[in-house]
Amino acid sequence: MDLPTLARGLGARSGLGPAPISVGFELTHRCNLSCSYCDRHSPSPGEMSRDQILRALSELHSLGMRHVSLDGGEPLTHRHVDEIAAFLVQRQVRMYMNTNGILVPRKLATVRLLSKVKISLDGPAACHDAVRGEGAWRRAVVGALAARDAGVPVELTCVVGRHNVDHVDELLAFADHARFPVVFQPARASLFAGVERPGAAFQLEAAEVRRVFRRLEAAKLRGCAAVGNRWSSLRHFRDYPRDVELPCAAGQINATLDPEGNLLHCGQIARPGRAPNVVALGARAAFDALARSACTQCWCARVVEENYAWGGRVHRMLPPLGVAEPPAPRPRRLKVVA
């Protein structure tokens, strides 16, 4: 969270009222992979048209939107992604992207517009490919290297579940060698009611989540720069899912826009059957109509970290007394031969 956003966020808490400063935009639920634990392989039936998207983004921008995290499905499969990214950059909106990395080398002109690209990696090649398909690991790493060579900061994202909990150390060793930070978070079941719940079989027991995150925190305490989680999310996951109530920016400065134009105060909790829709209502009325409620089970590491920053819980964010923040990994040139 940058300083202007933090300032506006504090404004939202002290009288200026909520504003959608930071928007997660799921462009499409289409994807070029169909990972075993994921429920977003194919487009939703009523995805917004190009014109509807640009109108919604323009309205959200006039309400204060300054950050957009492009998400999916796979956002780079959207046929208007280049135009949408250019539209946002023209309006000085900072963009981030969650991607499986595969299309990054073909979409470098758009990727260069991003402030950061976050690429999913489940572990070493065999572990990643077992859930994502043959060759997916190699293509993800090639994408990560291409983005970094193009000057775009890269973070890896690892969703820790039954399939990879025993491979976390191998992933850290690879990330340390390749000099990429990895942000870890626990796998969870589908957010969509009434659909098959492919994620549930991958979820770890709570005790195992706590165990693995305590190991990650210990690695960061030893100075391992490959652990990309900030202290606040590591502390949160120590007691997951029963952390103390954390400040929740959902609907205050954050919102999620789904491919059909439904606006949600939080994209990380079970989807309601109905939500205010920006196409039907316009962005202002949709944002005003959000039901705002917090929970204590925040599982998305970056959202946890933003929440603690927004809430000003500095004591949760600082390193332990006497411990220095590990330096950011310095890029290293690497050839992928797997």
Of the candidates 234, 294, 301, 309, which one interacts with ligand SF4 according to CB under 6 A?
Answer: 294
With contacts defined by CB under 6 A, name the span among 208-216, 227-235, 242-250, 325-333 that binds ligand SF4: 242-250
How many residues lie near ligand SF4 (CB under 6 A)? 23
DSSP state of 186: E
With contacts defined by CB under 6 A, name the span among 5-13, 71-79, 218-226, 318-326 that binds ligand SF4: 71-79
What angle do the packed helices 231-238 and 301-310 form, to 10 degrees? 110
- Binding string to ligand SF4 for residues 243 to 262, with x set by CB under 6 A, is what? ---x-x-x------------
With contacts defined by CB under 6 A, name the span among 34-42, 143-151, 180-188, 229-237 that binds ligand SF4: 34-42
Of the candidates 165, 295, 334, 336, which one interacts with ligand SF4 according to CB under 6 A?
Answer: 295
> What does the block give as tokens for 92?
């000085």
In whole angstroms, what is the distance from residue 145 CA to residue 151 CA?
A: 10
- Residue 188, helix vs strand vs coil: coil
DSSP labels for 74-127?
A: -GGGSTTHHHHHHHHHHTT-EEEEEE-STTTGGGHHHHTT-SEEEEE--SSHHH
To ligand SF4, the closest distance from the beta carbon of 335 in angstroms equals: 24
Footprint on residues 4-33 left by ligand SF4 (CB under 6 A): 31, 33
Which strands, in side-by-side order, build the sheet including 67-71?
A: 182-186, 154-160, 116-120, 94-99, 67-71, 22-26, 254-257, 263-264
Of the candidates 268, 279, 305, 309, which one interacts with ligand SF4 according to CB under 6 A?
Answer: 268
Whether residue 68 contacts residue 88, with contact meaning beta carbons closer than 8 Å, is answered with: yes
Footprint on residues 161-220 left by ligand SF4 (CB under 6 A): none
CB-nearer residue toward ligand SF4: 118 or 219: 118
In whole angstroms, what is the distance from residue 147 CA to residue 140 CA?
A: 11
CB-nearer residue toward ligand SF4: 20 or 329: 20
CB-nearer residue toward ligand SF4: 158 or 279: 158
Specify the pairing of strand 182-186 against strand 22-26.
unpaired
CB-nearer residue toward ligand SF4: 266 or 283: 266
Output the CA–CA distances (angstroms, integers) from residue 263 to 140, 203, 300, in the order listed.
30, 27, 19
Footprint on residues 83-122 left by ligand SF4 (CB under 6 A): 100, 120
To ligand SF4, the closest distance from the beta carbon of 167 in angstroms equals: 17
User: Is omega for the bond preceding 73 within 30 degrees of 0, making it cis?
Assistant: yes
To ligand SF4, the closest distance from the beta carbon of 175 in angstroms equals: 19
Specify the pairing of strand 154-160 against strand 182-186.
parallel
To ligand SF4, the closest distance from the beta carbon of 201 in angstroms equals: 14
Q: What is the CA radius of gyration of the chain?
A: 19
Residue with tokens 């027991």: 205
Footprint on residues 298-327 left by ligand SF4 (CB under 6 A): 298, 303, 307
35 scored as a contact of ligand SF4 (CB under 6 A) = yes
- The residues of the shown chain that bind ligand SF4, judged by CB under 6 A, are 31, 33-35, 38, 40-41, 72-74, 100, 120, 246, 248, 250, 266, 268-269, 294-295, 298, 303, 307
